[in-house]
Each structure stands twice: as C-alpha cells, then as structure tokens.
Amino acid sequence: MQKMTGAECTVRLLERQGITTIAGIPGGTNLPLYDALSRSETITHILARHEQGAGFIAQGMARTTGKPAVCLATSGPGATNLVTAIADAKLDSVPLVCITGQVPTPLIGTDAFQEVDTYGMSIPITKHNFLVRSAQDLLTVIPEAFRIAMSCRPGPVLVDIPRDVQVEEIAVDAFPLPASADAPPVVAQSDIEKAAQMINSASRPVLWVGGGVVAAQADALCKEMAETASMPVTMTLMGLSVIPRDHELNIGMLGMHAERYTNMAMEGCDLIVAAGVRFDDRATGKVNEFCPNAKVIHIDIDHCELDKLRSASLGILGDIKDVFSKLLPKIDSKPRKEWNEYLGALKAAFPQHAPMESGFESPQKFIRLVGEIADDSAIVTTDVGKHQMWTAQSYPFTGGRQWLTSGGLGTMGFGLPVAIGAALAAPDKKVLCFSGDGSLLMNIQELATAVEHNVNITVILFNNQCLGLVHQQQELFFEGNIFSCEYPVALDYVTILRGFGWHVCDLAEDCSEEIVRQALATEGPCLIHMPVSRDEKVLPMVPPGAANRVMIGGDSNG
C-alpha cells in the first residue's frame, strides 16, 4: 500500500498509460499536478505559450501516432483557451485526454476566482467528460478517459480535477491496468457477402475514402481493394494520404475544391463504396443531388454516421480494416476497362487544374516543388485557407499518417502547434507546415515553443497580406465587395521570425531550387517566406450550397 496525493496518483496513472510528453500551461488550480509532474522521470512537459497551442500540440502527437495524447490547463481562462483545440479534435475524431484544474470542490458554483463550468462547457465538444469528486475516483476515471478516447471512433475526453482532489492523500493498494481500446463491433458475415456481390456486379464503382480509413490504418488494404476491382478512388480532405497522389486509380479529392473531372466521375458511377467518410457538405455539395443514381455501401465504426445524411443501400457497422480484410478475398479481379477508359477520357477533356510541374510561378507549383524535394516520409500540416486547399490539391502524398489538417472545424492557427506536436512524436521525420499570414498570426506565440525544443519543422508561409479565402469568396459571391479581409500594414515576417530565433529563407529576395533545398535541409525550425498575389485563387470551386456539378473554373488548365 502506498500513500500519495491525487496529483501524484494522476501522474503515475499517466506514466503507466505510456504517456511520455504532455503539453500545457500551469496556473493556480493545477499547480499540485505540476508539482507532481516535476518529479516524473518518464514524462517531459512541453510548456506551450497559449493553451490553444497546448491543445494543438497534443493533437499533433495524437494525429501522428494514432494514440491518445495529453494536454494540461488551469481552470477558468486556461480551460476556455483549450476549447477550440478540443472542438477541433471532436470533429476530426482525434484521441485526446485533456486535464484541467478546477477550483476547490467547496467553492464550485460560487463564482470563485477563475471558476468556469468546465464540465458543462465541454459537454458538446467532447466524446465524454468527467468532474472528479475524490482522489480515489482518479483510479477509475483516468483509465476510463483513455479507454473512451481511443475506442471505436476516437475523440477527446476532458477530466476536470478540483484542486482539493489533487492534494487529497489516499492509500493506493494497487494501480489499475493501463486502459486499452474496446474491441470494435463484429461485422455481420451476411453484410460482407452482400457487399462483395454489389461490388462484383457494379460496372462503374468508386471507392470513396476518408479520415476513418487513416484512423483504422486500412490504407494498404484500400489500395489492394481498388487494384483488385480496378475501382477508382476518390478522397475527402481527411483521406488524401490514403492513396499515393500518382497512383493510376487515384481520381483526386471530391467536392468543393475537386478537379472538375473528379466530380464528373462521381456523377457517372453506379456504386459508391464509402469508407470512413461522413458525407460532409464540403465533400458532397448539395447532398440530395449527390450521385442520386448510385447505390451506396457505407462502412463506418460509428452507427450514427450510417444513414445520417444519405441512406445507404447497405450500411456496414465495423472497423474498416476488419471489414476490408474479410471483403477483399471475395472481390473479383476485373479490369473494368470501359469505366476506366471513360474516366481517362473525362480527364483528357477536363484536364487537371493543379499543375503537373513544380516551380515558383504559383503557390501550387511551389507546393509540388517542396513535396518533390522533401523526403517521402515528411509529415505535412496546414492552416486553413487557400494555402490549405492548394496543398490538398498539389502536394505529392505518398501515404499513411502523413497529412494533418483541420478538416471538420477548419481552424486557423492549427498548423504551427500541430507541426510542433508531430515533430515531438516523430523526431526522426521532417515536418512541413503550409500556412497563410492570417493563420500564422493566430498561434504565432508557439514559434517560441518550437525554438525552445529545436523541433525539425519548416513553415512555408504564403504571404498574401490578406485573409485570402475570405477575399476570394467576397470577390466571387459578394460582387467584389472586399471588406475587412485585407491587412493594410505589411508585417516583416522575416524579422519577426528571426526575432524568435528561427532560421529564415526569404524567397522575396532570391528564389532558386538550391535555396529551397538548403532551407529544407536545415535542422530545427525554419521559415520559408513566399510572397503571393492576392489574386491567386483556389479553383475550381463549387459555390457553397450548390450541387457538385456546378463548378466555377477548372475548364481550362489555367
């Protein structure tokens, strides 16, 4: 039997769970936890500069490893600052365990200093949440938090621990076993038979993959399935890294910023095999005009997703890896020549808008260039805006957990801290962060965190001195009434980043492949600054709310 405080008990439970890195910021109500953490021999603490940064650093670790990562904040403003990162994790199904300090139990509900209702506030943005009532409860709550975060469809879990619970002494007989994920639902054999029959008899099938495939680590199986059935593959934003960019069956991302031929291919299919996707409006366009004639096999681990927006001809509840491994042996190997030739003709008639060559003439060409120079194992993060869509359209992905972007919430400020988390979780890899000037400013304080830990990240900043995607929408859909999206004062990012201690490569001064190579070979945090015209657009584009066949631009290789 050992005596310890609630704080010490929490730290021990995290250690036993295999946690080695925690991002956070201390404050009044989590100081006992920090005191206990200071004595941990296995956990390193990353001091973020803003709790949103801490939340996203944890996300970077979780998105890179697929395992739950931990962030730590104090009560009140610490907890409210975490909210955006937690909501982002919820929408993209990222496993997090967020621990917040809370005012002492007797003060809860009295509007005490730095008291907010963290439990109530986090209900709609977490998979589950806890308000811990006694130190003894920590022995069940902490492992439960991890189990819930990683089981089935992953997600964020919040544990709110009042200060008095952290200092309460308890006697611990034995620690519970570290949590493991629940077994996924068992797939019905009849569903497998039916799916195989539907795929085998389809003449124009499309495999549509999303973030669920990445979470299930089923990318290799997806590729095999596609190859066996000669079934073209389209991806959501979250599934872009499932199939290598240059694979002959890859027909690109569908939806709002798809290539024209991709959305047209979808119009022509007779069966959609939708795996780990949630029929998001950015992907489907106006949902009741989305492939109305196609049958749908929808495979997902979350029952709520089946029939949520489009009723499937066949809904399969299960783990995609498990489903595909059972399905694959039953799939007939077929060339589907006619269908693939038709797609080839579509592609020839409506050539890809994204450039095929790399270079410096446009952001997209430059993204390709960076991707070609960087190692295949590089991890790519983005912020949110035009640069995000350009990266989605042009980066030469090669597979796996390589692509970290804010899909569901679309959070500006995501890129830099997530890149830091990714670099901490995969220190042997290069991390690239494609960002815009608007987004970089939203978590710019984390430049300091990056320098402190000398993480191996390169930020590629497309500086158009405006909120570019907003600018584009005002131009296209508000008759060019450009309002409140331009930055009239040019910031000197080169000096700012040097001031933080970053290496800087300024393409405004000099640009050549050699300079980019050098920048990418730099160990530690490095900025590549690239000025971009405000008029560079993201095209083609489906106007918000329209059907996917209504596209602006992309009819020529412009």
Ligand X SMILES: Cc1ncc(C[n+]2csc(CCOP(=O)(O)OP(=O)(O)O)c2C)c(N)n1
| Binding footprint of ligand X on the chain (CB under 6 A) | 383-387, 410-413, 436-439, 462, 464, 467-470
d(CA 5, CA 133): 14
Taking the least distance from each CB to ligand X, the nearer of 32 and 255 is: 255
* Binding-site partner at residue 513 among other proteins, ligand X, none, CB < 5 to 8 Å by type: none
Taking the least distance from each CB to other proteins, the nearer of 88 and 300 is: 300
Taking the least distance from each CB to ligand X, the nearer of 343 and 442 is: 442
d(CA 533, CA 129): 45
- Which letter does DSSP use for residue 238 in this model? G
Strands 205-209 and 233-235 come out as parallel
Taking the least distance from each CB to other proteins, the nearer of 128 and 365 is: 128
CB of 162 to ligand X, least distance (A): 31
CB of 434 to ligand X, least distance (A): 9
Taking the least distance from each CB to ligand X, the nearer of 147 and 534 is: 534
Taking the least distance from each CB to other proteins, the nearer of 153 and 295 is: 153
* Binding-site partner at residue 438 among other proteins, ligand X, none, CB < 5 to 8 Å by type: ligand X
Q: Which residue has the tokens 């240059």?
A: 246
CB of 137 to other proteins, least distance (A): 11
Taking the least distance from each CB to ligand X, the nearer of 276 and 436 is: 436
* Binding-site partner at residue 302 among other proteins, ligand X, none, CB < 5 to 8 Å by type: other proteins
CB of 43 to ligand X, least distance (A): 30
d(CA 305, CA 285): 17
d(CA 552, CA 542): 6
Query: Three-class SS string for 539-557?
Result: CCECCCCCECCCCECCCCC
d(CA 272, CA 199): 9
CB of 215 to other proteins, least distance (A): 16
Taking the least distance from each CB to other proteins, the nearer of 81 and 129 is: 129
* Binding-site partner at residue 470 among ligand X, other proteins, none, CB < 5 to 8 Å by type: ligand X
* Binding-site partner at residue 383 among other proteins, ligand X, none, CB < 5 to 8 Å by type: ligand X
Taking the least distance from each CB to other proteins, the nearer of 307 and 535 is: 307
CB of 56 to ligand X, least distance (A): 12
* Binding-site partner at residue 303 among other proteins, ligand X, none, CB < 5 to 8 Å by type: other proteins
CB of 214 to other proteins, least distance (A): 21
* Binding-site partner at residue 14 among other proteins, ligand X, none, CB < 5 to 8 Å by type: none
* Binding-site partner at residue 119 among other proteins, ligand X, none, CB < 5 to 8 Å by type: other proteins
* Binding-site partner at residue 384 among ligand X, other proteins, none, CB < 5 to 8 Å by type: ligand X
d(CA 231, CA 225): 8
The arrangement of strands across the sheet holding 21-24 comes to 44-47, 21-24, 69-73, 96-102, 156-162, 128-131
Burial pattern 84-100, b for ≥16 Cβ within 10 A else e, equals: bbbbbbbbbbbbbbbbb
* Binding-site partner at residue 120 among ligand X, other proteins, none, CB < 5 to 8 Å by type: other proteins
Q: Which token pair is 86?
A: 């937690």
Taking the least distance from each CB to ligand X, the nearer of 384 and 460 is: 384
* Binding-site partner at residue 489 among ligand X, other proteins, none, CB < 5 to 8 Å by type: none
CB of 154 to other proteins, least distance (A): 13
First-to-last C-alpha distance (Å) of the chain: 72
DSSP run (H or E) holding 528: strand 526-531
CB of 128 to other proteins, least distance (A): 5
d(CA 535, CA 490): 17
DSSP run (H or E) holding 71: strand 69-73
Contact 133, 164 (CB under 8 A): no
Interacting residues toward other proteins by CB under 8 A:
119-120, 123-124, 128-129, 131, 148, 302-304, 307-308
Torsion, Cα of 197, 201, 207, 213 (10° steps):
10
Taking the least distance from each CB to ligand X, the nearer of 271 and 538 is: 538
CB of 388 to ligand X, least distance (A): 7
d(CA 207, CA 79): 41
Neighbours of 246 (CB within 10 A): 9
Contacts of 125 (CB under 8 A, 6+ apart): 83, 86, 87, 90, 156
CB of 471 to ligand X, least distance (A): 7
